[in-house]
């Protein structure tokens, strides 16, 4: 009997990976999906790579034998990106965690893709620098690049797209390219860096990332403000942005999510009402000026209890609560899994999108707290579902689709930051149109003619 | 005799363009190159298009008959982009000047590609909004997208890349795609917007641009500071950026350029020494705080005569002088043309790059003032050449190559903002390597299989 192509690859890869390529069942199960609710698929093997050369050699093999390769970082994807739906190799980059260079004068660094935001910021702190993009989960920066992630700081510092100077990428056939240099800007050919960012492992495997860094602001202050209605929250956000106040973070929690956070993170002195979490960066004087300006806007909109937190401990507690919002939501219903929507709309349509989502949630009878990066017009509903109740799953997906459909009708996108993966494929053509999708497919065919890189994702076949 | 393919296209296009497609010699000459020093090439015809549909119909024809199409905006390209080196049709989009939408709450707008920065800002002023990207020439925004332009404000507001939400693009075969939506961020498929930005008319023709706008800052102040040496200027820039001061503009003029500007723009009270032009945006208090902080840094570095200009007239005069730097340089040698270098390096290498360029200029015996967007590590030398002296041209190109070669050796790029066009093709492979260039060529082949869009540019054949 001729061996399966994947067995040929596994056997050949043992030459350079040794026992770092494994068919162990527990490892395969760990690599069968992310934090999503997709049906798990076991890869044929998991490969823990350590160097660009190993990735290149492995891809050369997979390309030669037509074996699928699905990149895996921290496994925090919410859209099924790391689910190896056509089996093959799960390429785990989480052990590539070296910080290779930090150039303080240029405010840039070069890292391996398995480095996490937290790890990088711990490394940078002594040099007065930080990496701002903060999706709130313990994800790898390689994964953030692949999914075009953003998070709470994007309103001020941009998404990962604006904070990557260049990438080292291994192409489907094992060739290695460098997509960018060290300069802050360049007009030197097609923007392969931005093409790779958000390509979700379908065009190449990211093996190094050169990031733009920022100086730690001289002063930081956080504030929380509570509102009688969601509409009042959104009005405060729009007025603040139009005033040109350079918000570092402006995050919304609806009353359900705020209630969950109060319980989960033991926040004291807050009510379960619509709430904004705010952060200001600057000099001590400008931070105070910004906060006072927003306080006045919030008061005009009916906000109350504008509570400041300038000391680091109190700020950390607040933002930890915000970061744990997903887990606080899940904790509302022990044993549940969360289906996260990720609609992003023009700011002027945010109130409609949010209030419409609230109505849909109420009509559905499901529990689905709302949390949002509202400075960017992006919000999430975490729909809590019983993983053993297929009917409830169906109702949850119907709710998800209703919220996305309204977002699209309001000029928005199905995904502000989580990506397409498996879960949002059906919306992609609706958003871009058949011709733009054909261009994307043409690019995919040009870079990965055998379709071995994360097959089944982004496009419906 | 069978007609030439281009004659077939011209004849068929008259059906919908009438006399807006022309073979008039004066018009063809006007479209034979930009502000560059390339050898002019006459297009077979010039087409003044008015709508997306016209562009689509014309490209459908050109695609069917294999006729080259070179987009033309204001003709301000410095790298030969608009020189139709293989003749065919010069597609002039400069009459598409409608501002189609302004959404003040969302701080975005939709424009046709022939709109200029000045025209847009005049249109926006009443709404308290502005479009920051400012290359300093009277160029079209479509052209700025095509060449990935930036300019004096990029240090604060980013380049055109960060300020475009989406594009309408006509593909080589006449299909029309929309590359982006109205949201501030999206993780919804390959980033076709960024792929088109900087593609220099080789992947598609931009027919609409959706731009991100910014609020006009409450307060603006400008300052000028003069230094004994270029090194002191650069030291001030690096220290300022590391301090996290959110500079709106920070521009360097060497003593030759400053002398030229004093003469051309009748600036009073300044000496022909290395000079920084600075601008601060914010609230009145924060602008004053920023300016005082930079004044202190400059004084530490040996800067003198930190002169403020908070009133609008004085500020306008200063920035007009900076904008006219290119013309001031040209005026140093009446009848000369300028060859502009556009090196961009990591900030930490800026002093080396600048001082090395100065040495090369002195060794060459040519006149070449230096002006730079130093907050981004980008500087230009304008090498003044007698258009009728081929030997001087050769010396000028040798100087240009020496300055670029040093920039590349310092981790920089051959082009920060002017683009590749004809002039920088030889450096592209050097910068990116053969494999990355092969990826770019693959994308080009996928989107423009017949190679009709701006042939001969970006890649050497």
Q: What is the DSSP string of B4-39?
A: PHHHHHHHHHHHHHGGGEE--HHHHHHTS--SS-SP
Distance from CA of B399 to the nearest CA of A (A): 20
Least confident of A67-71, A322-326, B256-260: A322-326
For residues A209 and A139, give the distance between their C-alpha atoms in angstroms, rounded to a whole number: 14
Q: Write phi, then psi, for B363 (nearest 5 degrees).
A: -65, -30
For residues B102 and B125, give the distance between their C-alpha atoms in angstroms, rounded to a whole number: 11
Helix boundaries (H) for A71-209: 117-124, 141-147, 154-157, 160-163, 192-196
Is the same domain home to A183 and A260? no
Is the same domain home to B185 and B229? no
pLDDT more than 90, % of chain B: 91
E strand residue ranges, B355-439: 370-373, 378-385
| Helical axes A230-242 vs A284-300, angle rounded to 10° | 140
Residue that is written with structure tokens 């005082």 in the block? B292
Q: Please check whether residue A195 touches B, CB under 8 A.
A: yes
E strand residue ranges, A240-386: 249-253, 275-282, 304-309, 337-340, 370-373, 378-385
Q: Please check whether residue A108 touches B, CB under 8 A.
A: yes
Mean pLDDT, range A307-336, rounded to an integer: 89
CB A165 within 8 Å of CB A212:
yes
Mean pLDDT, range A322-339, rounded to an integer: 93
CB burial string A86-102: b at 16+ within 10 A, e below:
bbbbbbbbbebbeeeeb
Domain membership of residue A438 (yes or no) is: no
Q: B209-255, pLDDT tens digit by residue? A: 999 999 999 999 999 999 999 999 999 999 999 888 999 999 999 99
Mean pLDDT, range A112-133, rounded to an integer: 96
Across chain B, mean pLDDT equals 95
Domain membership of residue B190 (yes or no) is: yes
Task: Return the structure tokens found at A388.
Answer: 């053993």
B3: pLDDT strictly greater than 80: yes
Mean pLDDT, range B386-396, rounded to an integer: 94
CB contact under 8 A, B432 and A376: no
B311: pLDDT strictly greater than 90: no
Mean pLDDT, range B21-47, rounded to an integer: 97
Q: What is the CATH number of the domain that holds B305?
A: 3.30.70.2190
Is the same domain home to B185 and B290? no
Indicate the residue of A103, A217, A344 with minimum beta-carbon distance to B185: A344
Is the same domain home to A210 and A224? no
For residue B292, list chain A residues with Cβ-Cβ distance below 8 A: none
Mean pLDDT, range B403-416, rounded to an integer: 96
A309: pLDDT strictly greater than 80: no
ipTM, interface predicted TM-score of the complex: 0.96
Instruction: Provide the chain B residues 317-346 that lie in CB contact (below 8 A) with chain A.
Output: 342, 344-346
Mean pLDDT, range A78-97, rounded to an integer: 97
Residue of A nearest to B183 (CA): A346
Pairing of strands B69-72, B89-92: parallel
Domain membership of residue B35 (yes or no) is: yes
CB burial string A187-214: b at 16+ within 10 A, e below:
bbbbbbbbbbbbbbbbbbbbbbbbbbbb
For residue A241, list chain B residues with Cβ-Cβ distance below 8 A: 107
For residues A207 and A199, give the distance between their C-alpha atoms in angstroms, rounded to a whole number: 14
Domain end among B167, B199, B215: B215
Is the same domain home to A345 and A375? yes
DSSP label of A341 = P
Per residue, what are the HEC states of A193-249?
HHHHCCCCCCCCEEEEEEEECEECCCEEEEEEEECCCHHHHHHHHHHHHHCCCCCCE
B310: pLDDT strictly greater than 80: no
CB A138 within 8 Å of CB A126:
no
CB contact under 8 A, A187 and B198: yes
Q: What is the CATH number of the domain that holds A377?
A: 3.30.70.2740
Indicate the residue of B346, B378, B443 with minimum beta-carbon distance to A103: B346
Angle CA A260–A302–A135, to nearest 5: 40
Domain end among A293, A326, A359: A326
Q: Please check whether residue B440 touches A, CB under 8 A.
A: yes
Domain membership of residue A437 (yes or no) is: no
Mean pLDDT, range A279-307, rounded to an integer: 93
CB atoms inside a 10 Å sphere around CB A125: 11
Mean pLDDT, range A382-405, rounded to an integer: 95
Tell me which residue of B190, B189, B188, B186 sits closest to B212, measured CA to CA: B186
The per-residue pLDDT for A314 is 84
B136: pLDDT strictly greater than 90: no
The per-residue pLDDT for A305 is 83
For residues B249 and B253, give the distance between their C-alpha atoms in angstroms, rounded to a whole number: 13
Give CA torsion, residues A361, A365, A371, A374, to 10 deg.
Answer: 10
Q: Please check whether residue A203 touches B, CB under 8 A.
A: yes
Q: Please check whether residue A140 touches B, CB under 8 A.
A: no
Q: A15-33, pLDDT tens digit by residue? A: 999 999 999 999 999 999 9
The per-residue pLDDT for A2 is 86
The per-residue pLDDT for A54 is 98
Residue that is written with structure tokens 């093409």 in the block? A195
B403: pLDDT strictly greater than 90: yes
Instruction: Give the bridge partners for A237, in sequence order.
Output: none
Is the same domain home to A288 and A392? no
CB pairs under 8 A between A and B: 283
Residues near A383 by beta carbon (within 8 Å), at least 6 away in sequence: A338, A339, A340, A341, A361, A366, A367, A368, A396, A399, A400
The per-residue pLDDT for A386 is 94
Q: How many CA atoms lie within 13 A of A194 on its CB side?
A: 21
Q: Please check whether residue B3 touches A, CB under 8 A.
A: no
- Chain B interface disruption, residue of A124, A150, A190, A432, most B CBs within 10 A: A190
Q: B436-446, pLDDT tens digit by residue? A: 999 999 999 99
Is the same domain home to A279 and A210? no
DSSP label of B343 = -
The per-residue pLDDT for B1 is 75
Mean pLDDT, range A394-422, rounded to an integer: 96
CB B82 within 8 Å of CB B34:
yes
A310: pLDDT strictly greater than 80: no
Mean pLDDT, range B48-59, rounded to an integer: 98
Tell me which residue of A150, A151, A153, A205 sits closest to A176, measured CA to CA: A205
The per-residue pLDDT for A156 is 94
Task: Return the structure tokens found at B303.
Answer: 């800067």
- Domains of chain A: total: 4
CB contact under 8 A, B150 and A185: yes
What SS3 state is found at B264?
A: helix
Domain membership of residue B439 (yes or no) is: no
Is the same domain home to B195 and B265? no
Helix boundaries (H) for B97-204: 117-124, 141-147, 154-157, 192-196
Task: Return the structure tokens found at B363.
Answer: 């060794």
CB B414 within 8 Å of CB B343:
yes
- Chain B interface disruption, residue of A110, A183, A427, A434, most B CBs within 10 A: A183
Indicate the residue of B187, B217, B417 with minimum beta-carbon distance to A185: B417
Domain membership of residue B27 (yes or no) is: yes
Mean pLDDT, range B429-439, rounded to an integer: 94
Is the same domain home to A315 and A231? yes
Across chain A, mean pLDDT equals 95
- The residue segments making up the domain with residue A290 are 219-326
Distance from CA of A61 to the nearest CA of B (A): 19
User: At B278, is the pLDDT very low, low, confident or very high (cuts 50, 70, 90)?
Assistant: very high
Domain end among A63, A92, A121: A92
The per-residue pLDDT for A315 is 85
Q: Give the N- to C-terminal CA distance of chain B in Å, as an integer.
A: 31
Domain membership of residue A181 (yes or no) is: yes
Instruction: Provide the chain B residues 266-285 that lie in CB contact (below 8 A) with chain A.
Output: 282-283, 285
Q: Taking the alpha carbons of A162, A167, A173, A175 in that order, is the dihedral positive or negative?
A: positive
Element (H, E) at B164: strand B164-170
Pairing of strands B337-340, B378-385: antiparallel
For residue A444, list chain B residues with Cβ-Cβ distance below 8 A: 190
B309: pLDDT strictly greater than 80: no
Mean pLDDT, range B299-313, rounded to an integer: 86
A274: pLDDT strictly greater than 80: yes
Q: Please check whether residue B108 touches A, CB under 8 A.
A: yes
Residue of A nearest to B430 (CA): A188
CB contact under 8 A, B186 and A413: yes
For residue B282, list chain A residues with Cβ-Cβ distance below 8 A: 286
Residue that is written with structure tokens 């097609």 in the block? A190
A1: pLDDT strictly greater than 80: no
B193: pLDDT strictly greater than 80: yes
Domain membership of residue A26 (yes or no) is: yes
Angle CA B438–B440–B446, to nearest 5: 100
CB contact under 8 A, B171 and A439: yes
A243: pLDDT strictly greater than 90: no
Is the same domain home to A340 and A281? no
A147: pLDDT strictly greater than 80: yes
Is the same domain home to A229 and A209? no
Is the same domain home to A210 and A105? yes
B89: pLDDT strictly greater than 80: yes
Q: What is the CATH number of the domain that holds B152?
A: 3.30.465.10
DSSP B26-95: HHHHHTS--SS-SPP---SEEEE--SHHHHHHHHHHHHHHT--EEEESSS--SSSTT--TT-SEEEE-TT
CB atoms inside a 10 Å sphere around CB B122: 11
Angle CA B115–B121–B124, to nearest 5: 105
Residue that is written with structure tokens 């037509």 in the block? A66
């Amino acid at each position: 009997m001729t061996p399966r192509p994947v067995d040929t690859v596994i056997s050949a890869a043992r030459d350079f990976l040794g026992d770092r390529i494994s068919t162990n069942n527990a490892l395969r199960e760990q690599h069968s999906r992310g934090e999503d609710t997709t049906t798990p698929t076991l890869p044929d093997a998991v490969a823990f790579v350590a160097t660009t050369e190993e990735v290149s050699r492995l891809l050369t093999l997979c390309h030669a034998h037509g074996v699928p390769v699905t990149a895996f970082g921290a496994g925090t994807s919410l859209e099924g990106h790391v689910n190896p739906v056509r089996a093959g190799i799960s390429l785990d980059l989480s052990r590539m965690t070296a910080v290779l260079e930090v150039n303080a004068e240029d405010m840039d660094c070069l890292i391996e893709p398995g480095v996490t935001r937290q790890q990088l910021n711990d490394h940078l702190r002594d040099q007065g620098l930080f990496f701002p993009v903060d999706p709130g989960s313990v994800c790898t920066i390689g994964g953030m690049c692949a999914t075009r992630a953003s998070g709470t700081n994007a309103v001020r510092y941009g998404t990962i797209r604006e904070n990557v100077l260049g990438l080292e990428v291994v192409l489907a056939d094992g060739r290695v390219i460098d997509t960018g240099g060290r300069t802050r800007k360049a007009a030197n050919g097609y923007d392969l860096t931005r093409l790779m960012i958000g390509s979700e492992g379908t065009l190449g495997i990211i093996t190094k990332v050169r990031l733009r860094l920022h100086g730690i602001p001289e002063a930081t202050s956080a504030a929380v403000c509570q509102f009688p209605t969601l509409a009042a929250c959104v009005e405060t956000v729009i007025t603040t942005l139009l005033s040109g106040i350079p918000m570092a973070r402006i995050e919304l929690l609806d009353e359900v999510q705020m209630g969950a956070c109060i319980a989960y993170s033991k926040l004291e002195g807050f009510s379960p009402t619509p709430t904004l979490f705010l952060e200001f960066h600057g000099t001590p004087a400008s931070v105070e000026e910004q906060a006072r300006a927003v306080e006045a806007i919030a008061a005009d909109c009916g906000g109350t209890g504008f509570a400041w937190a300038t000391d680091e401990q109190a700020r950390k507690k607040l933002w930890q609560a915000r970061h744990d919002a997903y887990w606080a939501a899940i904790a509302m219903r022990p044993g549940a899994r969360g289906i996260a929507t990720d609609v992003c709309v023009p700011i002027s349509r945010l109130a409609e999108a949010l209030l419409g989502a609230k109505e849909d949630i109420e009509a559905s009878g499901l529990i689905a707290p709302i949390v949002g990066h509202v400075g960017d017009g992006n919000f999430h509903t975490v729909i809590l579902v019983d993983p053993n109740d297929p009917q409830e799953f169906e109702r949850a997906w119907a709710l998800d689709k209703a919220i996305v459909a309204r977002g699209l009708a309001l000029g928005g996108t199905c995904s502000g930051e989580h990506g397409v993966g498996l879960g949002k494929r059906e919306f992609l053509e609706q958003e871009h149109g058949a011709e733009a999708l054909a261009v994307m497919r043409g690019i995919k065919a040009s870079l990965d003619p055998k379709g071995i890189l994360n097959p089944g994702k982004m496009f419906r076949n």
